[in-house]
Structure 1
Amino acid sequence: MGTLIRWERALERWQDALLAKLLRSEPVELLDALRRECDNHAVVCSHSRVVVPNAYEVELDVGVYKELTRRGGRAGHADRAGQALTDALVRHGEENHYEWAGPLTVRVTPAAGLPNGRYHVASRVMPHVRVDEFP
């Protein structure tokens, strides 16, 4: 079992490094904001069932988003960052025994005038959501 835990930690370190390269910001802070958004909107249905939103949007400062997409086009690095954030959120949900309200997705988009100048995280419940169908 120790090997599995070491493997998971190595994967988490790799994922944090990937996000740092892609987003050029502190990935732990962004991941913490995403986890808090999930935790803050958890609905306890019973002692064994906690439901959380399944559609998350991470709005990045326009400059950060442009840097992210400059190297690989919109479908390149932004989608990879969204997938890395989705994977991190999946692990968080598993650790807390959360049940997603539907298929989980994290979409990364540009936004001007963010309160902290870097990012904003929001969530909602959307049935049968796909990243390319996000309203």
Structure 2
Amino acid sequence: MYLKRPAGGLAFCLFYLASCFTNKYVLSVLKFTYPTLFQGWQTLVGGLLLHVSWKLGWVEINLCSRSEILSWLPASVLFVGIIYAGSRALSRLPIPVFLTVHNAAEVITCGFQKFVQKEQTSYLKVCR
């Protein structure tokens, strides 16, 4: 099955671009002024789909203790900030500029891991 591997990547790219265009339309054309609510709705739908997939046995979810969940709280708060900042940027910037800046953050993170933390990142392993 030669096309299985590229098909997953292509599907991800198409869904990613579709979500960017949908978010841009809702935030800019429809003038939706509460981007956090819109992102929260998307997160809720994604969580429900994940839960249904878990119940159907398509994905495996391991249960965590309360202390493990609390250790993720600071990252969760930062993630909400990232969602809000991304929504604000997407509502003001053209889509090509937004995607360029958004993906440049991945390159900066990869460079930080490579040169400051001296670790081999998954992005660099793929490029070799």
Name the TM-score, length of structure 2 as normaliser: 0.29
Tell me which of the two structures has the higher relative contact order, counting C-alpha pairs closer than 8 angstroms and 6 or more residues apart. 1
Select the structure that is richer in helix.
2
- In our comparison, the structure showing a higher alpha carbon Rg is 2
Select the structure that is richer in strand.
1
Name the TM-score, length of structure 1 as normaliser: 0.28
